[in-house]
Amino acid sequence: MSKGNQDFSKIFSEIQREFTHFASSYAKAVKSGANTVGKQVIDAVDNMDQPANIVASKLIAAVKSGVKNAGEQMINSGIDYVNHMNTKKNKE
């Protein structure tokens, strides 16, 4: 394999590895956010004697909470990744 092909293959492998890491982190964050929403939705509709606007506001709050949870996890994952890359770079 020529040097150019080896370099391209190495770059492509690195991109693929990084994408796989990102996709895994994203999937974990979304699952965690969905679990948060699910619990809050069950709580919101548990009392059916509530007016519809109260239930709706609780459902909206649940979705916001789930999105916030997922976002926080993605940020934490990004920080961990940057720290890992800095550690890796310092070892080289």
CB 30 within 8 A of CB 15: no
Q: What does the pLDDT profile of the chain (92 residues) look like in tens digits?
A: 577 778 778 888 888 988 898 889 889 889 988 998 898 888 888 877 888 888 899 899 999 999 999 999 899 988 988 888 888 778 76
DSSP state of 46: S
CB 32 within 8 A of CB 64: no
pLDDT attached to residue 46: 84
> Which amino acid type is present at position 75?
I
Please work out, in degrees rounded to the nearest 5, the angle formed at the alpha carbon of residue 78 by the alpha carbons of 82 and 84: 30
The tokens for 60 are 């909206």
The tokens for 77 are 């994952």
The tokens for 25 are 């982190």
Q: Which residue from 20, 34, 38 is spatially nearest to 73, judged by alpha carbons? A: 34
What are the structural domain ranges in the chain? 3-91
